[in-house]
Amino acid sequence: MTVTMADTAARPPRRPGRAKRLGLYALLVLVAVVAAGPLYWLVSSALKTNPEIYRYPPRWVPTDLRWANFKDAWDAAPFGRFFINSAVVALAGTAIEVCTALMCAYAFVFLPFPGKKWLFLFLLGAMMVPGHVTLLPNFLTIARLGWVNTYPGLIVPGLGSVFGTFLLRQHMMTLPMEVMDAARIDGAGHLRTLFRVVLPMSRPMVITVSIVTMVTKWNDFIWPLIVTNSTDMRTLPVGLLFLKNQETYTNWGAILAGTVMVIVPVLVVFFIAQRYIIAGLTQGAGK
């Protein structure tokens, strides 16, 4: 069952047997079911009444949809507030981070500086620092700044960009220098060149970096867990943990509805922009 390009491209054009093809399709279906089955089960169960959730044997398709589970979740915890917090952290955080990453990448590509290479190594080196090593010191820094339970506390420590800066720099190095010179001669300063010339020419890469950054921030769990201790500052994933603990398995309908609320925005973004997401997350694999 190896790469069978030879089977189709080279001679003799041996057709894989019918049995083999059927087997491969069966495997493909199995893989699809294993991957998507739990997600289907989540969404369908989130719409079931409690007797149906607790029914044995399970019913694969809910008989009557109970949207009230979402209302239950909404009433059990301030999900609207969690949603706003998550959106602020993910959107504002991404906007700032991509801006600083863009400027940093631009500087490394188009501006001279003594010892630039070493500075770039310094930048890359930050990738070696595991998140768990920074938890306690960063919490202490944020506490000292009085930022516990605030948006700056949630956002600022995550703003440093290594990966995004790296990707943007790699991309900018492929841009034709003449265009930059032309912009300069037309009297554009570096800031103007960056936002009017380089940015439009880097659109796919900027989209990739932005979406991946946004999804990462939306899903982040441990930092919001640590840096918030009031209900109204929790983000969705952390709020979900507390909803689950509070409902202690008694009301699965509400818990699952809450879970759906956490994943649906990301799933929607993923299905729309999967090309960019997959490209961004798997960068660096080839070499």
Task: Name which of residues 216 to 245 contact another protein (CB under 8 A).
Answer: 218-219, 221-222, 225-226, 236-238, 240-241, 244
Shortest gap between Cβ of 96 and another protein (angstroms)?
9
Q: How many angstroms separate the first and last alpha carbons of the chain?
A: 25
Residue 152 · residue 158 · CB < 8 Å: no
Position 116, amino acid = K
Dist CA 178 CA 185 (whole Å): 10
Footprint of another protein on 34-93 (CB under 8 A): 34-36, 38-39, 41-42, 45, 53-54, 56-58
**Structural tokens at position 48:** 């079931």
Alpha carbons 85 and 153: distance in angstroms, whole number: 12
Tokens at residue 162, please? 């290594």
Least distance between another protein and beta carbon 2 (Å): 4
Closest distance to another protein from the beta carbon of 178 (Å): 6
Cα 134 to Cα 33: distance, rounded to the nearest angstrom:
39
Q: Which of residues 246-265 bind another protein (CB under 8 A)?
A: 249, 252, 255-256, 258-259, 262-263
Q: How far is the CB of 267 from another protein (least distance, A)?
A: 7
Query: Please, are residues 48 and 253 in contact by the beta-carbon 8 Å criterion?
Result: yes
How many C-beta atoms lie closer than 10 Å to residue 69's C-beta? 25
Residue 143: CB minimum distance to another protein, A = 9
CA dist list (Å): 148 to 80, 151, 181, 214:
21, 9, 46, 22
Instruction: Answer yes or no whether residue 272 interacts with another protein by CB under 8 A.
Output: no
Binding residues with another protein: total (CB under 8 A): 117
Q: Is 104 in the site for another protein (CB under 8 A)?
A: yes
Where in 156-185 is the site for another protein (CB under 8 A)? 156-162, 165, 178-179, 181-183, 185
Which region among 70-78, 87-95, 146-154, 278-286 touches another protein (by CB under 8 A)? 278-286
68/265 with CB nearer another protein: 265
Q: Provide, rounded to whole angstroms, the least separation between the CB of residue 131 and another protein.
A: 6
